[in-house]
Amino acid sequence: MGNECGCGCDGANKVNVEWTVPSIKCQGCADKLKDFLEGVKGIKFVGVELEKKLVSLNYNTTRFSEEQVRETLLQAGFAVAA
């Protein structure tokens, strides 16, 4: 099976990002965002830090570009800070 990670890629197509998301105001916001992103195929890890308003993601670059991941956050109602 080699270096496959379970999604069909070889692990080399994964990227980690951290973005500030100012509209995370409470634990409900953090939970909503995390639940939404965990349901998106191709996103392997989601971490949300309420106090820092920070979202950490690990996603498959063969499925998404960075811009598409940002658009996915917008669909959930949360914009990434510029």
Q: Count of domains in the chain?
A: 1
In which band, very low, low, confident or very high, does the pLDDT at 1 lie, cut at 50, 70 and 90?
very low
Name the residue with tokens 């890629």.
Answer: 9
Q: Is residue 2 in some structural domain? A: no
In which band, very low, low, confident or very high, does the pLDDT at 79 lie, cut at 50, 70 and 90?
very high
CATH value at residue 55: 3.30.70.100
Q: Are 42 and 52 in contact (CB under 8 A)?
A: no
pTM for this model (two decimals): 0.77
Q: Which two structure tokens, joined as six digits, stand for 22?
A: 């100012």
